[in-house]
Amino acid sequence: MKKSALLNSNISEVVSRMGHTDALAIGDCGLPIPDETKRIDIALIKNIPTFIDTLRVVLMELQIEGVEIAKETMEVSPNLYEEIKKAIGDVKITVITHEELKQKLKDCKAVIRTGEQTPYANIILKSGVVF
């Protein structure tokens, strides 16, 4: 049995295949995911699992060097933005528009769809290296 924290095999597989600067997105249940991008749907019901809980677990497995967040997240959901900043620590944040974020999903290895129903609860994680 797997010893580390992340039990979801689909997320674990994507993380294990990621290289430096590859991207992985986590989104709310309304985020439109392009057909060509792998969808990992973990949504159960409203807000289960939450975006921030999912982000915290993924960060236990994935080394990141930067994130991309929509400016709308900061403006419409400032409390969530503060939680994101706490979760990622001293990692570079690049602010883009929500439309740009949706376009960049095509370049992500996968998008994890949560049950979150907070507006603009979306993020793109840029993989770093552990050395």
Cβ(28)–Cβ(122) under 8 Å? Answer: yes
Identify whether 20 is a catalytic site residue: yes
CA distances from 93 to 24, 61, 70, 71 (A): 15, 19, 10, 11
Cα–Cα dist 105/32, whole Å: 9
* Per annotation, catalytic residue among 5, 9, 13, 20: 20
Residue 99's CB is within 10 A of a number of other CB atoms, namely 10
Flag whether 25 is marked binding. no
121 is in an annotated binding site: yes
Question: Is 120 labeled as ligand-binding?
Answer: yes
Compute the distance between CA of residue 28 and CA of residue 54 in angstroms, rounded to an integer: 10
Q: Does the annotation flag 122 for ligand binding?
A: yes
Is 8 annotated for ligand binding?
Answer: no
Instruction: Give the residue numbers of the binding site.
Output: 28, 98, 120-122
Instruction: Give the residue numbers of the binding site for substrate.
Output: 28, 98, 120-122
Active-site residue list: 20
